[in-house]
Chain A
Amino acid sequence: MEKTEDKNQQPEEEQVVNPWEVSAKDGGKIDYDKLIDKFGCQRLDQSFVDRVQRLTSRPPHVFLRRGVFFAHRDFNDILDAYERGEKFYLYTGRGPSSEALHLGHLIPFMFTKYLQDAFKVPLVIQLTDDEKCMWKNLSVEESQRLARENAKDIIACGFDISKTFIFSDFDYVGGAFYKNMVKVAKCVTYNKVVGIFGFTGEDHIGKVSFPPVQAVPSFPSSFPHLFSGKDNLRCLIPCAIDQDPYFRMTRDVAPRIGYHKPALIESLFFPALQGENGKMSASDPNSAIYVTDSAKDIKYKVNKHAFTGGQESIEKHRQYGANLEVDIPIKYLNFFLEDDAELEHIKKEYGAGRMLTGEVKKRLSEVLTELVERHRRARAAVTDEMVDAFMAVRPLPNMFD
């Protein structure tokens, strides 16, 4: 049995990480080692990265090289099976709570696209419009509308339509999917779900019965139009580590209903511009870089709002160097600057005080602008018809090619 996080017994000073809340202890940084320990998942070490490179015959994604995706459950099983010629499918998702998508939202999708290309496997993407309708108190129509809008940004990340199925809960729940939901629900007691997710007597029953919805895309039989006859197909779920509770529950239930446990590969949280302790929020446009920001906006936000580890004066900076631990531009470059050598050089020079904050910020603005521009152009090519096609319940005959 895997360790489950018992929220009710958490002492006040502990960090809180669950699908609806992420906060560090005393407003400090998230302790990822403690998190891995508490959740019971494994660290993703360099040997994995090398193995992925060998198996896929291409350079590993920057997020793997830099430890952005840093934890996993059973990823080695997936790789073992892959080596034997057994494929798997990918499952990821988004809760469409707002139209404003920022770079942090794109991270799991950018990585999933790489996995799709590198391993040549199909992908299902779940848009939990029902969840947002319930938790954020949106109308059904509004959450459906947001789901479609978000789908466009997701498609713009470059997924292959012949291998990708996007679905919204309001559209798709039913049939085989619902049958699996009931099977899962029968295996999780009320007390258990309260223990995992922290529901109280005041929470409405929609919330309490939601977790199976996010669990069952991990089972191939939920998608008869895609995987019929392939009940043995494994599932790999790239996600941010705050989603772990859903899948701990799923992994617990899977063997009891005769399915493989889904494997997970989990990422760090993307820091807000104001620093690790800051919170990214859709209502504070200066806390994050949005995919709709112009080059001017990006430059402004990076220059004015990014929290840096540079010293207060040039003299001090030349003497002591920058504090790379808290410097946001360096952290962002860690995520998005492809060239390892260049990043190392910047870290070295900046840490020694030879490079100034302004220069680092300038490079960051360039990198982010290029990223956002590329995304915007791709987004411009996504039409409503394309969304319809991605979301159509259709077979994907070439999904493993």
Chain B
Amino acid sequence: MGYSKDQLLARLKELQIEFSQYEHPVVLTVEAQAKYVGNLGGALSKNLFLKDKKHRYYVVSALADTKVDLKVLSQRLGLGKGGLRMAPEEALGEILQVPLGCVTPFAVVNESARHVSLLLDQGFKNQECCFFHPLANDMSISLNAHGLDKILKSIGRNPSYIDLEANPPVGKDQPPDLAAYVPSDSPVLPDLPEKAPSSQDSTGDSVGAATKTAAFTAKAVKPSGNAKNVKEKSADSARPSIPAADAGKFVEELLDRASALLLSEISEDSIKQHGGQLGAEVANNVKKYLREDLKNLATIFKNTAYTEGFYAGTRCQPKRL
């Protein structure tokens, strides 16, 4: 079950975040909300729940006056011109676990929304306070950007604010400036913390920077020094089918390929065709077709093992005399 309004309010109080709360009849739009809390001094927010073609989700939270152009945003994220759409209603309940008309940055406290990317309007920073729905549309709470940051940080999100109205050129020499905000394709495993993407993450290649865990089980923490985040991905999409410097897995992979090829080579037809010579024929073919493939696998294995050794070497303590 998702976080409830009360749980959220309790959390805010726990973290000693200053906020004011206002109850009102259920509202579904910014205009309706404005009727009740519009002249209380805080700025109203508009919140969009968006989806791209690869089923990745985004919450865009902006000042009500900020112009948000979905086409521009889509390009800045590197999704092309028409990459962003409003997410379907079902997704609101399933992923954000909020009712219709209640999209809010707080929704990312829910487990189900761990991989939803959050884009915050830098305009929030200049406001004394802003209004958001606290996971329910019959209330609005106002807090300042600092408070918003605090609660987001407490759930492991790194809040960053962007200029939503900017329209920088995106092209051959100007990579999309918001590319780091595109979530990784697959949902994050629930027991691993997901940090918001840093500005250094690579974009389109979904298997790019993720560290493969098989060989590096001893290294639970990435060495500091560069701010890259490690994103653990779900088993099938990111764990490579090639084993890391694990000799057992490596040999299994080689044997799998060899036996797959053997099975395909030996059929009724090939038995009829070659008879007693089938052995020699198959042996030849196995060598011919597998040679390059296996060499490549072996090179990857070698490189991985070398890297492990190299890494260990750079952290080796000098011999005690």
Contact = CB atoms under 8 A, between A and B. Distances in A.
B212 interface: yes
Interface string A374-401: 1011111101111011001010000000
B240 A98 contact: no
Interface residues of B, number: 39
Given A149-B208, A383-B212, A389 B242 contact: no
A192 interface: no
Given A281-B172, A384-B228, A99 B203 contact: yes
A161 B130 CA distance: 54
20 contacts: A98-B172, A100-B204, A136-B173, A137-B173, A145-B200, A162-B306, A283-B171, A291-B205, A292-B204, A292-B206, A376-B207, A378-B242, A378-B300, A379-B205, A381-B244, A381-B303, A383-B216, A384-B226, A386-B304, A388-B311
Contact of A158 (B208, B222, B299, B306): B299
A380 B238 contact: yes
A380 B213 CA distance: 11
A385 B205 contact: no
A392 B310 contact: yes
Q: Which of A159, A281, A291, A380 has the most CB of B within 10 A?
A: A380
A155 interface: yes
A161 B302 contact: yes
Given A158-B300, A378-B296, A380-B238, A389 B310 contact: yes
Contact of B172 (A283, A380, A384): A283
B137 to A, nearest CB: 40
A119 B173 CA distance: 37
A196 interface: no
A74 interface: no
A386 B200 contact: no
Nearest to A394: B310
A152 interface: yes
Secondary structure class of chain B's binding surface, majority of residues: loop
Contacts of B172: 98, 281-283
8 smallest CB-CB distances across A and B, nearest first, come from A283-B172, A380-B240, A389-B310, A380-B207, A283-B171, A386-B307, A161-B303, A389-B307
Nearest to B80: A285
Contacts of B242: 377-378, 380-381
A62 B160 CA distance: 50
B302 A162 contact: yes
Interface of B: 80, 170-173, 175, 200, 202-212, 216, 222, 226, 228, 238, 240-242, 244, 295-296, 299-300, 302-304, 306-308, 310-311
A160 B300 contact: no
A357 interface: no
Contacts of B206: 292
A145 to B, nearest CB: 6
Given A379-B205, A384-B222, A385-B216, 16 more contacts: A99-B203, A99-B204, A136-B173, A155-B303, A158-B296, A160-B303, A374-B296, A376-B207, A380-B242, A381-B303, A383-B212, A384-B226, A385-B310, A388-B307, A389-B307, A392-B310
A394 B311 CA distance: 13
A97 interface: yes
Interface in A357-383: 374, 376-381, 383
A275 B240 CA distance: 35
Nearest to B169: A283
A379 B207 contact: yes
Contacts of A160: 299, 302-303
A389 B306 CA distance: 8
A377 B241 contact: yes
A290 B211 CA distance: 22
